[in-house]
């Protein structure tokens, strides 16, 4: 039986990094981790319309910094930056006023918004688009195929979408897979983005998983060598 491994966790410290970047004493680690999970879940739920790809959390002595990567940063920023200020207040009042935060002296929260250049290559954004379509009662095949088409046009080398549950209201739950290109899950240098969540429909939850293969990531020496080889091939073709 095949054992499934999370594509991002498999590549940590190779070509992926952690979404939470801070250091904590062992006794405080679990509290910081719980707080990060709650903050990230709150931000993702609140900013669904902005097309959030990921939320990175950094901590200093007495502050928390959120780096939000979104396809539509204007929705988050709001008129004159009012949206960011409101989000700061909500996160501070919701999560930084508990006993643990007061004990550690966490008082300030900073928010940085970064625009995602190609949203169709971000697994979480593509996944959320499919979920939004399913919740609007669009047929799951059309929703998945449209998402695959958008990603291919944006330059994805491969994409896989799995939709599972009571599809189209069927009484028996099943799983459907849509595939295009290649997804080399065993290749560590492959840049594979992964996202999963569930759509809330009148038939129950419908799970959506998305893998997007963007190409291979080489270190500087390997990249330079590969570029040199490609240049030599081009010169040979021109000379012929």
The residue with tokens 């944006």 is 154
Is beta strand 158-165 parallel, antiparallel or unpaired with respect to 204-216? Answer: antiparallel
3-state SS class at 143:
helix
3-state SS class at 216:
strand
pLDDT at 13: 86
| Average pLDDT over every residue of 26-34 | 90
What's this model's pTM, rounded to 2 decimal places?
Answer: 0.84
Nearest Cα to 200, choosing from 166, 149, 175? 166
Is beta strand 20-21 parallel, antiparallel or unpaired with respect to 158-165? Answer: unpaired
pLDDT at 240 over 70: no
Is beta strand 174-181 parallel, antiparallel or unpaired with respect to 190-201? Answer: unpaired
Which CATH superfamily is 119-216 part of? Ribosomal protein S3, C-terminal domain (3.30.1140.32)
pLDDT at 158: 95
Top-tier CATH class for 7-115: alpha beta
Domain spans in the chain, listed from the N-terminal domain onward: 7-115, 119-216
- Which residue did the predictor score with more confidence, 10 or 240? 10
Rounded percentage of the chain residues whose pLDDT exceeds 90: 52
H helices of 174-219, where? none
**Least confident piece of the model among 22-26, 44-48, 186-190, 231-235:** 231-235
Ramachandran bin of 8, using left for φ above 0, alpha for ψ from -120 to 50, beta for the remaining angles: alpha
**Least confident piece of the model among 7-21, 140-154, 214-228:** 214-228
pLDDT band for position 153 (cuts 50, 70, 90): very high
> Could you please report the per-residue DSSP string of 77-111?
H-GGGHHHHHHHHHHHHHHSSSHHHHHHT--EEEE
User: pLDDT of 155-182, one tens digit each?
Assistant: 999 999 999 999 988 999 999 999 999 9
């Amino acid at each position: 039986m095949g054992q499934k491994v999370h594509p991002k966790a498999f590549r940590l410290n190779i070509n992926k990094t952690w979404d939470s970047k801070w250091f904590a004493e062992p006794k405080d680690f679990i509290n910081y981790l719980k707080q990060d999970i709650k903050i990230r879940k709150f931000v993702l739920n609140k900013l669904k319309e902005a097309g959030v790809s990921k939320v990175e959390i950094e901590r200093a002595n007495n502050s928390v910094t959120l780096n939000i990567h979104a396809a539509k940063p204007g929705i988050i920023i709001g008129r004159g930056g009012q949206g960011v200020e409101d989000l700061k207040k909500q996160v501070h009042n919701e999560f930084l006023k508990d006993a643990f935060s007061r004990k550690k002296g966490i008082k300030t929260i900073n928010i940085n918004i970064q625009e995602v250049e190609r949203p169709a290559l971000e697994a979480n954004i593509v996944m959320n688009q499919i979920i939004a379509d399913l919740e609007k009662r669009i047929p799951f095949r059309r929703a998945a195929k449209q998402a695959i088409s958008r990603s291919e046009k944006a330059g994805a080398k491969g994409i896989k979408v799995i939709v599972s549950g009571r599809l189209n209201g069927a009484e028996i739950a099943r799983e459907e897979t849509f595939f295009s290109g290649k997804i080399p899950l065993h290749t560590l240098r492959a840049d594979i983005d992964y996202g999963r969540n569930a759509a809330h429909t009148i038939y129950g939850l419908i799970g959506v998983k998305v893998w997007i293969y963007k190409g291979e990531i080489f270190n500087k020496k390997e990249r330079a060598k590969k570029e040199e080889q490609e240049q030599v091939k081009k010169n040979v073709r021109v000379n012929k």
